[in-house]
Amino acid sequence: NISSLFGSGSRSSKTFKPKKNIPEGSHQYELLKHAEATLGSGNLRMAVMLPDGEDLNEWVAVNTVDFFNQINMLYGTITDFCTEESCPVMSAGPKYEYHWADGTNIKKPIKCSAPKYIDYLMTWVQDQLDDETLFPSKIGVPFPKNFMSVAKTILKRLFRVYAHIYHQHFDPVIQLQEEAHLNTSFKHFIFFVQEFNLIDRRELAPLQELIEKLTSKDR
């Protein structure tokens, strides 16, 4: 049941970072509700399409916040398994290793453990989402000209958290019975970035087989 993805009722509400809320009564909140309703129909291809007459930047913004919240929750469930000892490097399988740099505080990429990397990453995303000049929540405030490139960087980095969970922590995900939840969330994410061409194919390589498997049923 896809709608349970969004209800905190049955799921452990332990998120890794505080949840990012979209203000009720705002147009973005209406868009989020629209997204949830379409997701409820179970057709993910339809659910990611830009609704008629809507602004692409705003649609990407709302969904980016939503994916941040979903990944925040998914990673929150497995933080006990992702430790300095278990994951001394941030990897997605033996061939892919990520080093952290944000371009401002840390300019030269540093090698760090997965929990440290994901903490840096999620804090960085949070800072972007909280920046009113990048993600304006007030009606009529325009998105900046570089919004799409910012959103692409955020989504590219959020993908790495999915990749790390799938490659290094899939066993606990199964034990916690979060597998369907993770797959649905990731599939939604992939359909979204494919629809608007937001992540370079090379970046998706660590999960290419899974992506093909999850998306082939819906062509």
112 is in an annotated binding site: no
164 is in an annotated binding site: yes
82 is in an annotated binding site: yes
How many Å apart are CA 69 and CA 182, to the nearest integer? 13
* Among the listed residues 12, 41, 7, 17, the one whose alpha carbon sits nearest the alpha carbon of residue 118: 17
34 is in an annotated binding site: no
How many Å apart are CA 104 and CA 112, to the nearest integer? 17
How many Å apart are CA 155 and CA 72, to the nearest integer? 13
How many Å apart are CA 181 and CA 185, to the nearest integer? 6
From the annotation, which residues make up the binding site?
Answer: 82, 87, 164, 169
From the annotation, which residues make up the binding site for Zn(2+)?
Answer: 82, 87, 164, 169
